[in-house]
Amino acid sequence: MSNSMKGMSLITLEEFSPEQVQALLSQAIELKRKKKARIFPRSLADRNFCLIFQRPSCRTRTAFAIAAADEGAQAHAMSPQEIRFGSGESIKDIARVLGRMFDGIAIRAYDTPLIEEVAEHAGVPVWNALTEQHHPTQALADFMTLQENGIALPGAKMAYVGEGKANVVTSLMVAAAKLGVELRVVTPKGHHPEPSLVDRLLGWRHNDKAKIVVTSDMREGLLGADAVYADMWVPMEGNWDIPAMARDFRGYQINRAAMAMTENPRAIFLHCMPSQHNLETEFARKHPEAIEATDEVFDGPLSRAIDQAENRMHTIKALMVSTV
Ligand code: CP
C-alpha cells in the first residue's frame, strides 16, 4: 500500500495513518537537520500557499510562512476581512477559487466544519492551523520534540496538565492513539474530556501501548512521566471568569514540586505557548493566580518549550512537502 500523502488535507490528524504520522515526524527531524546545515532542497519552488488566520497567531502563522520560504514557495496572508467565508460569499465558491490560485491553504478558524468544507471543494491540500476543537499541527511538533529528545514514542508517557476539553489535548489524544503513547490528561473535575471522545480514540488505536488516562490527581498523572506538558488554564480569546477558572486549577501549577512528582529526573517540560510563567505579561499581572508554570521550570534546564515552538516550523514544512 502506498504511503503517499500527496493531496491530503490535515483537519484533525485522524485522516493520517500511524505510519504517515511517524513519516511526517521523521521527515521534520531530517528537514531540521538540513536547515541547521543550511541545506534547502527547495522542493516547493514556484508554489503558492494561502494563509487565512481568522484568529491571532504568533507561532503557527510564522511557521507556515518560513516553512514555505525555506522550500522556495510563497505564502500569501489574507485577512478575514478579505476572505468572507459564508458572509459575503459561500464557503464552497471561495474554496473553489482559492484552489485554482493556490497549491495549499492553511486556515485558523473558530469551527472545524468550515475547514472541512473548504477541504471538500478546494481540490488542493487544506491544513487546519487551529480551531476550537483541534490543533493538529501543534501535536506534530510536540511528538517530534519528544522524539528528538531520545524518547521512543511507542511506550512514552506524557502528562498533559491543563484544560481537558481544549483543542491542544484533543489533538494530543489523537496523535497518542496513533503513535502508541501513554497520555495522561491531568485536569480538575468538570474539565475532563468527553468520555465518548476518549473511548472513540482508543477504539481505533493502532498500537497496544497507546493509552489515555484521565485523572484529577497530579501524583497519579505525573508519576513516571517522560514529559510534563503545561497549557494555559484560560484561553486568550473570549470572555471567561478568570478568577473562577484559576480557582479550579489551583494545585495544578507546574513548578519544581510538580516536576518532582514524576520521580524521573530526566522528565522534560513542554508547553504549546503562549504561556503565563512570570509577571511579564499584562494578563499575568492582572491575574497572577492564573500562572500555570513557574519561571524556574519554564526556563529550567529540562524545558524544551522553545525547541517545541521552533519545531512547529519543521513539522509544518514536512506536512507541506509531503502533501503538496
Ligand atoms: N501554539 C500556538 O498555536 O501558538 P500561536 O497561537 O501563536 O500560533
- For 49-76, the pLDDT digits (tens) are 999 999 999 999 999 999 999 999 999 9
Please choose, from the candidates 233, 269, 270, the residue with its C-alpha nearest in 3D space to the C-alpha of residue 249: 233
58 CA → ligand 1 middle, Å: 6
What average pLDDT does the chain have? 96
Distances (CA, A) of 124 to 7, 62, 251: 6, 21, 46
Sign of the Cα pseudo-torsion (92, 95, 97, 100, in order): negative
Which set of grid coordinates corresponds to residue 156?
512514552
The protein residue whose alpha carbon is closest to atom 4 in ligand 1 is: 59
1 CA → ligand 1 middle, Å: 35
By most ligand atoms within 8 Å of CB, the mutation choice from 59, 132, 170 for ligand 1 is 59
By most ligand atoms within 8 Å of CB, the mutation choice from 312, 313, 316 for ligand 1 is 312
Looking from the CA of residue 135, the nearest atom of ligand 1 is 3
Name the percent of the chain in helix, strand, coil, to the closest 5.
Answer: 40, 15, 45
263 CA → ligand 1 middle, Å: 30
Res. 320: pLDDT tops 70: yes
Which pLDDT does position 121 carry in this prediction?
A: 98
Phi and psi angles of residue 216, each rounded to the nearest 5 degrees, phi first: -100, 0
Which pLDDT does position 238 carry in this prediction?
A: 86
For the question of whether the overall pTM of this predicted structure is more than 0.85, the answer is: yes
- For 175-224, the pLDDT digits (tens) are 999 999 999 999 999 999 999 999 988 887 667 899 999 999 999 999 99
Alpha helix locations (H) across the chain? 18-36, 59-70, 91-101, 112-122, 136-148, 167-179, 195-203, 218-222, 242-248, 256-260, 282-286, 295-298, 305-323
Place of cell 519544581: 256
